A and B are shown apart, each in its own frame.
Chain A
Amino acid sequence: MLRLLQLELQKLLLNRASKVLIFISFILPFFVIILSSLRINFFGLFVLELGHYGIFNFPIVWHITTFFASQFKFFFAIVVVSMIGNEYSNKTIKQNLIDGLSKKEFILSKFYTIVFFSAVATLLIFLICLCIGLYYSSIDEMSLIFIDSEFLFAYFLKLVGFFSLCLFLGMLVKRSAFALAFLFVLFIVEWIIYGILTWKTNEALADKIQNFFPLKSMYKLIDQPFQRIVMSKVPNKQDFIYDFAVHWHEIAIVLAWTVIFIFSSYRLLKRRDL
């Protein structure tokens, strides 16, 4: 396992383009979060301090940071797609197999890399959240700090699931640009199907079915936090209550998609003549 991970890391980290993208996708969100958590004085005109609104308090900080950090996943998606696309365009996939890597090992080395980067991203987010949270909150009891920290797990799963989808699309079309276009097409198709379902049946049922679609199910893992922020500010909460929790069935759906994508990638490669 370590050997396969090392293989892929060497391929990625020696490539300048993917190195930059990895940096952007993992380091940038943390800078953004850290900067936004600082007290920024705009030339004495006004003072911007987001922490003042209580969004960096426990437990909501877990929710907010994971939600925003996951928006940066698109940069690493480009890396995932291009790490397949490059193997095809350089024909190194063929050479790797001839050199003695099995098709299973090839897919696994990509998958391990996805898991590895997702884990690193989650760990970094965890540390940032902890620091910011401890700085802004008055809570210092362990059990209270980690309330809602399941958002971290959801974040990790969301990344793994989304990158597995990218891996599959990369294997399917072999070209990075086309794979990204496919991702966009899939996004549109999901909404078109949702539209048709709403039209043919009713919205409640359509919502339920939509939650099974790959992109929507990953999005649903971490619901948007804005309503929750409003909820915490407004005295009359009844109008704003919504279900933002991470549910086991949401996790199960994303896990199922991940397995399907990885397994299909393997099947595709196995059947293909290179």
Chain B
Amino acid sequence: MESILTINNLTKKFGPVTAVKDLSFTINKGNVYGILGPNGSGKSTTLGIVLNVVNKTQGEFLWFDGNTTTHDALKKVGAIIERPNFYPYMTAYQNLKLVCKIKGVAYSKINEKLEVVGLLERKDHKFRTYSLGMKQRLAIASALLNDPEILILDEPTNGLDPQGIHQIRAIIKQIASEGTTILLASHLLDEVEKVCSHVVVLRKGEKLYSGRVDEMISSHGFFELQSDQQEKLLRLLEKDNSFGNITVEDKIITAFLNNPMNASTFNQLMFDNGIVLSHLVKRKESLEEQFLQLTDNK
């Protein structure tokens, strides 16, 4: 797979504080990556380093094939860090014109990208008159101007109302569906779960996990069960070594699987043993549960 960004043993110290500790991971083309971590876990610092605004203490990062300088690479990257930063006294169009000049892109792109984020009618209004949601959308338009190979978003929905969050997510999904690689830093787990295919989990500047979202912890999921023959059901589950941890809460039995089993096989098994279920759900741990499990273990 073609790699877009490779980070090797990256370390950043702010005085006595180590913000990023010996971090390594690779971003490959075509995937949507999430960087997950609580506040202060080094997400923004890591992005700042690869975007050339924060100086690294140790380690290295390589853009694309490794022969591209960061200066040239950034012309093929679109990025928004934290809050949208524009000149308040310029209109949206003028702000984007400035970005075009920096990136060396034709002005014709401006209207096209404003259309994508739905700001075309407001393009001649000054930036300072925009709502936060509009500012964030303008930032996305600005990041898209050069048709980037990778789009880096740091907390893109921070501080937005539910409507704004929904709009931003819809835009991100649309961009992802067009094949653009996306790197999304967030502490909002459901956001990452909804959008990303791969995830890097950080805590206190250290990497806890990197890989596919659905392989984050080795779990086969669990069943939520309810039956009138609860005693019999419990005895049966305890005898079967396919099941590990079994808990009962409000008449709902939760049985964790030790090896893979789908719901219909399980239902057949119950039927053969003369148990009728009134409730059967197979679930996997949510990203939040997985994340908490992962960050608690260490």
Question: What is the interface of chain A, defined by CB distance below 8 A to chain B?
Answer: 3, 6-7, 10-11, 14-16, 86, 90-92, 94-103, 270-271, 273-274
Bound complex: CA A262 to CA B88 (Å)? 27
- A266 to chain B minimum Cβ distance, whole angstroms, is 14
- A39 to chain B minimum Cβ distance, whole angstroms, is 43
Is the pair A11, B53 in contact by a Cβ cutoff of 8 Å? no
**Interface membership of chain B positions 16-48, coded 1 if the CB is closer than 8 angstroms to chain A and 0 otherwise:** 000000000000000000000000000000001
> Contacting A94 at CB < 8 Å: which of B53, B89, B99, B102?
B53
Which of the listed residues B48, B89, B94, B99 has the most CB atoms from chain A within 10 Å of its own CB? B89
Beyond known contacts A94-B53, A96-B102, A273-B14: 9 more, CB 8 A cutoff: A10-B97, A10-B98, A11-B87, A14-B89, A99-B103, A100-B75, A102-B71, A103-B52, A273-B54
Is the pair B98, A7 in contact by a Cβ cutoff of 8 Å? yes
Q: A10-B97, A99-B74, A273-B55 are in contact. Are A92 and B87 (CB under 8 A)?
A: yes
- B183 to chain A minimum Cβ distance, whole angstroms, is 13
Bound complex: CA A6 to CA B94 (Å)? 13
Provide the residues of chain B in CB contact with A91, threshold 8 Å.
83, 85
Bound complex: CA A6 to CA B102 (Å)? 10
- B207 to chain A minimum Cβ distance, whole angstroms, is 21
Is the pair A99, B53 in contact by a Cβ cutoff of 8 Å? no
Bound complex: CA A161 to CA B14 (Å)? 35
Does B92 reach chain A (CB closer than 8 Å)?
no
Is the pair A98, B89 in contact by a Cβ cutoff of 8 Å? no
Provide the residues of chain B in CB contact with A15, threshold 8 Å.
87, 89
Bound complex: CA A1 to CA B191 (Å)? 43
Is the pair B51, A97 in contact by a Cβ cutoff of 8 Å? yes
Which of the listed residues A86, A100, A273 has the most CB atoms from chain B within 10 Å of its own CB? A100
Which of the listed residues B74, B88, B98, B104 has the most CB atoms from chain A within 10 Å of its own CB? B98
Is the pair B54, A16 in contact by a Cβ cutoff of 8 Å? no
Does B101 reach chain A (CB closer than 8 Å)?
yes
Q: A6-B101, A14-B94 are in contact. Are A90 and B85 (CB under 8 A)?
A: yes
Is the pair A7, B101 in contact by a Cβ cutoff of 8 Å? yes
Question: Which residue on B lies nearest to A272, using beta carbons?
Answer: B55
Question: Which residue on B lies nearest to A16, using beta carbons?
Answer: B89
Provide the residues of chain B in CB contact with A103, threshold 8 Å.
52
Does B79 reach chain A (CB closer than 8 Å)?
yes
Question: Could you pull out 9 A-B pairs where Cβ atoms are within 8 angstroms?
Answer: A7-B98, A10-B98, A14-B89, A92-B87, A94-B53, A99-B102, A103-B52, A271-B55, A273-B53
Question: Which residue on B lies nearest to A103, using beta carbons?
Answer: B52
Provide the residues of chain A in CB contact with B294, threshold 8 Å.
none
**Interface membership of chain B positions 69-82, coded 1 if the CB is closer than 8 angstroms to chain A and 0 otherwise:** 00100110101010
Q: A14-B94, A100-B71, A273-B48 are in contact. Are A92 and B85 (CB under 8 A)?
A: yes
Bound complex: CA A92 to CA B74 (Å)? 16
Is the pair B53, A3 in contact by a Cβ cutoff of 8 Å? no
Does B90 reach chain A (CB closer than 8 Å)?
yes
Bound complex: CA A123 to CA B123 (Å)? 38
Question: Which residue on A lies nearest to B83, using beta carbons?
Answer: A91
Question: Which residue on B lies nearest to A91, using beta carbons?
Answer: B85
Bound complex: CA A92 to CA B86 (Å)? 6
Bound complex: CA A98 to CA B51 (Å)? 6
Provide the residues of chain A in CB contact with B55, threshold 8 Å.
270-271, 273
Is the pair B97, A100 in contact by a Cβ cutoff of 8 Å? no
Provide the residues of chain A in CB contact with B86, threshold 8 Å.
90, 92, 95
- B115 to chain A minimum Cβ distance, whole angstroms, is 20
Provide the residues of chain B in CB contact with A6, threshold 8 Å.
101
Q: A14-B89, A95-B85, A95-B86 are in contact. Are A101 and B53 (CB under 8 A)?
A: no
Provide the residues of chain B in CB contact with A16, threshold 8 Å.
89
**Interface membership of chain B positions 185-212, coded 1 if the CB is closer than 8 angstroms to chain A and 0 otherwise:** 0000000000000000000000000000
Is the pair A97, B90 in contact by a Cβ cutoff of 8 Å? no
Provide the residues of chain B in CB contact with A273, threshold 8 Å.
14, 48, 53-55
- A68 to chain B minimum Cβ distance, whole angstroms, is 32
Q: A10-B94, A14-B94 are in contact. Are A99 and B99 (CB under 8 A)?
A: yes
- A137 to chain B minimum Cβ distance, whole angstroms, is 46
Is the pair B98, A98 in contact by a Cβ cutoff of 8 Å? no
Provide the residues of chain B in CB contact with A96, threshold 8 Å.
102
Bound complex: CA A102 to CA B75 (Å)? 11
- A102 to chain B minimum Cβ distance, whole angstroms, is 5
Is the pair B102, A101 in contact by a Cβ cutoff of 8 Å? yes
Provide the residues of chain A in CB contact with B83, threshold 8 Å.
91
Provide the residues of chain A in CB contact with B14, threshold 8 Å.
273
Provide the residues of chain B in CB contact with A270, threshold 8 Å.
55
5 tightest A-B contacts by CB?
Answer: A95-B85, A100-B74, A91-B85, A274-B53, A100-B75
